[in-house]
């Protein structure tokens, strides 16, 4: 008899309920980004470039996009485009705005007075890079076309930016729109078309990476937005494709191990391409990135941590607050006590803000996800 999903032979069956460890993995990935960033800001290069210049933050970020691709395809398949878009906006924008306000009107002011500026708050609020402008410009997902990194000349540190983590939100939301578009044109119902699209993007990235004539143009210094949308969409669409083929993808530890091995080889392979800085140029990690999706989903099934983050998801708060909290700790010279101590301090100091963000902003905002259906007079879908 041909095995079916009901027999538990396929990954999708075991991920179909909320009884999985995906939220735990998201929490780990967000914390890894925080640790990598805090170590880098503290001057420790071990977290910053341990595999051909690939940072732990970049690896964790790719993993985050892979899991998001799976979950977002699930959401898009169950909702119409407007409801889907409304839910995605509620998940991203309220928490972001709250973080921007906290940074501009609390963290920034603390930093300002720590610097003993003689003209007080008047100069802080009326500078060219004022706190109000910081909130307004970055409210549109800190996109590469309209962004502000500093507030009244602060922070003064190794990386003079209040929140260098926010830039990925623009590409995360762009991937949401891609999946929504796929739903509108029927690609989510005809999954082979999504598979072919994913392969086409992956092939494009591969050709650019190994072809000098292309790679010198598609990088941070020339076409930053095109480079990043390609690198993030390929891993995001890989996660989405795995969702669409969830009834065909086997639950196999050997497949997870083999995919992990391919990924490790990809990020460790000598830089035989023209790119040498993974965060700024296409390098072998971008070719290998899709291979991390299946192992993470497999772990989501088999890790015995299904209750962690099931009801309360603090991963987004940790991600968006990690960098500005770290900048405050650097202002107080806590990084001089050693990188391990500093990382522990960064985690412990960030957690309260992540918790408050969830309970005061993110969770209340998500309670409005059924509002469009209520306005139309329909019962919310399950």
Q: Which two tokens mark 62?
A: 């790719």
pLDDT value for 380: 47
User: What local confidence, expressed as pLDDT, does residue 219 receive?
Assistant: 76
Q: Where are the domains of the chain?
A: 5-375
Angle at 259 between CA 7 and CA 32, to 5 degrees: 105
Place of tokens 């910081």: 134
DSSP letters, 248-306, are TSB--HHHHHHHHHHHHHHHHS---SS---TTTB--HHHHHGGGGHHHHHHHHHHSS-T
Alpha-carbon span 234 to 126, nearest angstrom = 42
Query: What does 106-173 look like in DSSP terms, one character per residue?
Result: IIHHHHHHHTT-TTHHHHHHSSTT-HHHHHHHHTTTT-TTS----BTTB--SSS--S-TTTTHHHHHH
Q: Which two tokens stand for residue 93?
A: 């924008």
- CB-CB neighbours of 19 under 10 Å: 11
The whole-number pLDDT of residue 3 equals: 42
CB 150 within 8 A of CB 46: no
Dist CA 364 CA 101 (whole Å)? 17
Contact 109, 331 (CB under 8 A): no
Q: Which residues contact 170 (CB under 8 A, 6 or more apart)?
A: 140, 141, 142, 143, 144
CB atoms under 10 Å from CB of 273, counted, come to 20
142, 228 contact by CB (below 8 A):
no
User: How far from each other are the two terminal CA atoms of the chain, in whole angstroms?
Assistant: 33
DSSP-derived 3-state class of residue 2: coil
pLDDT tens by residue, the chain, 382 residues = 344 444 558 888 778 767 789 999 999 999 999 999 998 888 766 555 566 778 889 999 999 999 999 999 999 999 899 999 999 999 999 999 999 999 999 999 999 998 777 788 889 999 999 999 999 999 999 888 889 999 999 998 888 999 999 999 999 999 999 999 999 999 999 999 999 999 999 999 999 888 877 877 777 777 778 889 999 999 999 999 999 999 999 999 999 999 999 998 888 776 666 667 777 788 888 899 999 999 999 999 999 888 776 789 999 999 999 999 999 999 999 988 888 899 999 999 999 999 999 999 999 999 988 776 666 655 444 4
Q: How many residues does the chain have?
A: 382
Question: Which H/E stretch holds residue 82?
Answer: helix 81-102
**Contact at 8 Å (CB) between 298 and 256?**
yes
Coarse DSSP helix, strand, coil percentages of the chain, rounded to the nearest 5 percent: 65, 0, 30
């Amino acid at each position: 008899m041909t095995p079916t999903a009901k027999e538990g032979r396929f990954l999708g069956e075991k991920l179909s309920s909320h009884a999985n460890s995906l939220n735990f993995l998201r929490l780990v990935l967000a914390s890894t980004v925080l640790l990598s960033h805090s170590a880098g800001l503290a001057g420790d290069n071990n977290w910053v470039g341990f595999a051909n210049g690939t940072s732990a933050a970049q690896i964790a970020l790719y993993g985050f996009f892979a899991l998001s691709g799976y979950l977002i395809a699930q959401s898009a398949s169950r909702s119409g485009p407007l409801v889907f878009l409304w839910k995605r906006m509620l998940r991203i924008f309220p928490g972001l705005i709250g973080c921007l306000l906290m940074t501009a009107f609390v963290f920034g002011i603390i930093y300002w007075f720590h610097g003993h500026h003689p003209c007080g708050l008047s100069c802080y609020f009326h500078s060219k890079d004022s706190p109000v402008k910081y909130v307004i410009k970055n409210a549109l997902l800190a996109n590469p076309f309209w962004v502000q990194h500093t507030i009244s000349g602060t922070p003064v540190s190794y990386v003079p930016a209040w929140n260098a983590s926010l830039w990925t939100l623009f590409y995360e939301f762009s991937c949401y729109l891609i999946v929504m578009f796929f739903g509108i044109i029927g690609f989510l119902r005809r999954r082979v078309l999504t598979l072919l699209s994913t392969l086409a993007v992956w092939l494009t990235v591969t050709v650019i990476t190994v072809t000098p004539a292309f790679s010198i143009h598609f990088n941070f210094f020339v076409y930053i937005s095109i480079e990043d949308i390609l690198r993030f969409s390929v891993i995001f669409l890989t996660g989405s494709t795995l969702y669409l083929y969830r009834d065909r993808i086997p639950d196999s530890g050997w497949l997870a191990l083999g995919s992990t091995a391919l990924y490790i080889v990809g990020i460790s392979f000598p830089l035989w391409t023209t790119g040498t800085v993974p965060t700024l140029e296409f390098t072998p990690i971008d070719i290998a990135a899709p291979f991390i999706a299946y192992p993470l989903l497999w772990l989501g099934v088999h890790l015995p941590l299904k209750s962690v983050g099931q009801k309360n998801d603090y991963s987004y708060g940790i991600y968006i607050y990690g960098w500005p909290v770290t900048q405050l700790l650097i202002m107080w010279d806590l990084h001089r006590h050693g990188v391990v101590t500093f990382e522990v301090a960064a985690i412990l100091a960030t957690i309260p803000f992540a918790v408050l963000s969830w309970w005061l902003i993110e969770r209340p905002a998500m309670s409005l996800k059924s509002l469009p259906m209520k306005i139309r007079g329909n019962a919310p879908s399950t």
